[in-house]
Amino acid sequence: MSNTTVGTEGADPGAGSRAARLVVLAISVGLAAALAVGTGVSAMATGSPSATNHPVADPPSASHPPATDPPAADPPVTAASEPGAASPPHTANPEAPGTVVESGQDQSDPFLYLTQGGYFLYTSGEPGPPAINVPVASAISFAEWSPVTDALPSLPRWAVPGFTWAPDVHQFGSGYVLYFTAMVYGTSPAMECIGDATGTTPDGPFTSISTPFICQADQGGSIDPRVFTNADGTTWMLWKSDQNIGGATTPTKMWSQRLSGNGLALVGQPFDIQQPDQAWQGTIVEAPDMVEVNGTYWDFYSGNWFNQPAYAIGAARCDGPEGPCSDSSAWPLLASNDQGQGPGEASVFADSSGVWMLYSPRRSFAPHPDVPPRPVDITRLGFTTSGPYLAAGGPPPSLQALGAGSPWLAP
């Protein structure tokens, strides 16, 4: 379980259609060219929360499935609800708080999900050779991980191979939805948008939907999808609009919007939850991920340029899933330290026993691919009324043995 209030994987009982996706008017010449070759990027009136997608024949990507009401979610279990779970001891070494996750995935944007009795760890793609679009490994103990496989073997036609980032997985009903960021064909400067894919198991293979899920073309694109499940069972999508496309200095924004019951559409209006307002952030806030602890909503995010030593992880207190969010400190929660310069791209994993943060301990050295590889680190978090802190305690505990055969859930 991750980036959520609860320890369950279900969703709200509502339903939606593909028409409720947030895909804005293609206003750049590059995106118009992409549309002309049939990438599946849809057009709509700027600022509207819904769109009518242009049908695209795009095998092997799936057409949008009909909206259905999923089974009811299990009763929610509040994050860090066990005695003392929200207030573990502070880390003894704040200059080296992270523990390396020995999963064999030296890529950015780590995301941990607990389902079917096992941990599943996803990261940004490996450009290869051989290329892996969405690396995934599974485990019941952080000491031993399965071999890495590709959760998304085939990309949709609009996505450029070798440029997939920031995966997120969530269970809706009996199935799973994978969200990812990818570069859009034919755009200049290169624009990225958020795609989605469906599957029956958490490690895939997932089948991509033929059109982007979120693509704010008038704001430079959309990246960094994360799902948050509220205590009332509603699910929310958090993401960043990419105003810094091509090196621009326009301040970026982080957004949230409710998801439909099947996770394949957005419901209602989007909310602008946070923009850069601290010196260390520069003009960029990105990679939002939310958790609720003891009735308080916290958004963990990265600030500044991803390939600079100033890149760091911040924390903000939010009024709710729709924001607004305000920084709990004028300083980042985790910045350059003995484990590397420019840590960032964090996600939050929470269950009843505590809250953990996974992240890249050092910055990316552009251009892609990253040199050197970026390991996955994890650190426990604690919370006070004034904000979160880096805590001692290592990774989440091992899970109960799964029975005979391979110790891994994924082959």
Residue 200: pLDDT band by 50, 70, 90 thresholds? very high
Question: Are the C-beta atoms of residues 88 and 29 closer than 8 Å to each other?
Answer: no
Whether 336 has a pLDDT exceeding 90, the answer reads yes
Q: What pLDDT is attached to residue 22?
A: 40
Q: Which amino acid is at 87?
A: S
Give domain status of residue 404, yes or no: no
CATH number at residue 177: 2.115.10.20
Mean pLDDT value of segment 205-231: 97
Percent of the chain with pLDDT over 70: 76
Domain membership flag for residue 406: no
Tell me the C-alpha distance between 105 and 126, whole Å. Answer: 9
Across the chain, mean pLDDT equals 82
Is residue 310 a part of any domain in this protein? yes
Per-residue pLDDT of 224-251, as tens digits, reads: 999 999 999 999 999 999 999 999 999 9
What pLDDT does residue 78 have?
A: 62
pLDDT band at 407 (very low <50, low <70, confident <90, very high): very low
pLDDT (0 to 100) of residue 127: 82
Compute the residue count for the chain: 411
Q: For residue 383, give the nearest of 254, 274, 291 by alpha carbon.
A: 291
Q: Which domain holds residue 301?
A: 18-45+76-391
Is 53 among the domain residues? no
Q: Residue 33 carries which DSSP code?
A: H
The CA distance from 297 to 291, in Å, is: 6
The answer to the question of residue 354 being in a domain is yes
Rounded to the nearest 5°, which phi and psi values hold at 33? Answer: -65, -40
Q: Would you call 122 helix, strand, or coil by DSSP?
A: strand
99 class by beta-carbon count within 10 Å (0-12 exposed, 13-18 middle, 19+ buried): middle
CB 27, CB 252: distance < 8 Å: no
> Can the peptide bond before residue 59 be classed as cis, meaning omega within 30 degrees of 0?
no
Strands 266-274 and 285-293: unpaired
- Nearest Cα to Cα of residue 177 among 226, 217, 223: 226
Does residue 64 sit within a domain? no
360, two tokens: 């890249």
Q: Is 30 helix (H, G, I), strand (E, B) or coil?
A: helix
Q: Per residue in 114-147, pLDDT tens?
A: 998 899 999 999 887 888 999 999 999 999 999 9
Q: Is the pLDDT of residue 178 over 60?
A: yes
pLDDT tens string 22-63: 433 333 334 443 433 333 333 322 333 333 222 222 333 445
Query: What per-residue confidence (pLDDT) applies to 299?
Result: 98
Q: How many domains does the chain have?
A: 1
pLDDT of residue 374: 86
Q: Higher pLDDT residue, 5 or 223?
A: 223
Give the pLDDT score at 368. 56
pLDDT confidence of residue 365: 79
Which is nearest to 325 in space by CA: 362, 295, 296? 296
pLDDT > 90 fraction of the chain, expressed in percent and rounded: 68
Is 7 a member of any domain?
A: no
Residue 367 pLDDT: 57
- Give a yes or no: residue 107 inside a domain: yes
Express each pLDDT in 61-108 by its tens digit: 445 555 444 443 333 446 777 888 899 999 999 999 999 999 987 889
Cβ neighbors of 66 (< 8 A, separation 6 or more) are none
How far apart (Å, rounded) are the C-alpha atoms in residues 158 and 195?
9
